[in-house]
Structure 1
Amino acid sequence: MTLALLWPGSALAATVTVQPGDTLTRLAVRHGTTEQALVQANPTLRTGALIAGARLNLPSAPPPHAWTVRRGDTLSLIARRQGTTLTALLAANPGLDPRRPLLVGQRLTLPSQRTITRQTSTPTVRAASIRVTPVLPVQGRVTTPFLERHPSVDLAAPVGTPVRAARPGVVTESRFDAQSGWGWTVVVDHGDGMLTRYSHNSENLAQVGARVEAGQVIARVGSTGNSTGPHLDYRVTVQGVPVDPLSLD
């Protein structure tokens, strides 16, 4: 593929050379744009087919936009409001740590539509669809919040209290984890890049391979493993990155 820079009038525009077998759809996906935008940038496409070796103008990317964080904002909430994805939002803000809370007044760069199109046109997860039910797996008191040295939330509750799945998914682990000190543990894969982990259980009720629904009882609170009292250690990772369960909505 050959890229060149032309000077059409006063704007600098990127061009691409059509390869054998290229279609408008393939070009749009490859360059993070749309078929309509390609036609608008190349009016001759309205009347003719693509010809190998021809050079097409790529649509110009729109200028970046910014968002000022307001009280109550979370990354997932901002992404949903702006019609983007959590993945694209993080990519547009390289120094942003999804494990840390946002600060009121903080400025975030919003991703361009080209970036969003490129990410959603490939077989990756749309992070904007990642949501956790507002109801916690256990209705208990938060004894340890999410911290860098403790990337989970501890919820104290009596032994035997039902532990419920936060979202629909498939159970990928249901075992006694002595190596990590988590005791009886259940892990649910939600199929969109998010995993939830429920540990220190007195009893696991969901078996590996089982499909569970949001709110379904999958275990019971206990104090197994490295634990100082009855509680649930509740962990969430998004594409392998630990995040605060209380920051997701």
Structure 2
Amino acid sequence: MSSFSALTTAGYRASVRDRTTVFFTFAFPLLFLVVFGLIFRGKTVEASGRGYIDYIAPGVLSWGVGNAAVFGVAFTLMQWRRDDLLRLIRLTPTPLVSVLASRYVIALVIGAVQTALFLGVALLPVFGLRMAGTWPLAVPVLVCGITAFLAIGLVIGSRADTPEAVAAVANCVMVPMAFLSGSFYPIDAMPSWLQAVSKALPLRYLNDGISQAVSGSASLAGIGIACGGLAVFAAVFGVLALRTFRWSNTS
């Protein structure tokens, strides 16, 4: 078995065996979908005429996928470094790319399961999401989004030395972004200056791309803008992650 396969298998088993991780990865974001979906059931956004569920489902999905990517890799790197596992891995022929690639594959799998679960629930008659035939265009947006948020998680996990620090920093990044990027509140209903601020946030592009694909308003230009914006964030934070990566807390 290659080092990449071994790390991926170990990471997957650790994820599914931890009930707390499973709950906050899948059930906790889904709870937001259920609560907001029931509160705004049958209501529409006056500015666009679209149902609230058309914003809520893609928004909560985007936030859940981004959250899972950030917290998953950040906590893993912090724990592995604190327990000296990264230092031991460094003493083997395992390259850094194998360590990072294993986490990337796990994040993609988790994102795929989250997407199927969230959309499946949102399509139930009680919520009434109407998914257009352009929904496959959400796939490249999701891949780019997971890549961008994984890079953000790498930066956090490389600098934070305790679980409390990871949780504090990651929440400070993800919670405000959720509200400013349209995950819980439609961007169309925000003041114009807040709409401008949201364009500087990666979650805005993930929200926009998935929302367009699911609602049927997607175009190649719109999906390209979403993927391009996420690619820029992935590149910036990816370079920063490589520069800040530490194999141990003493180096």
Task: Please give the range of the TM-score, normalised by the shorter of the 2 chains.
Answer: under 0.3
Q: Determine which structure has more spread, i.e. the larger CA radius of gyration.
A: 1
Structure (1 or 2) with the greater strand fraction: 1
Structure with greater contact order relative to length (CA < 8 Å, sep ≥ 6): 2
TM-score where L is the length of structure 1: 0.23
Greater helix proportion = 2
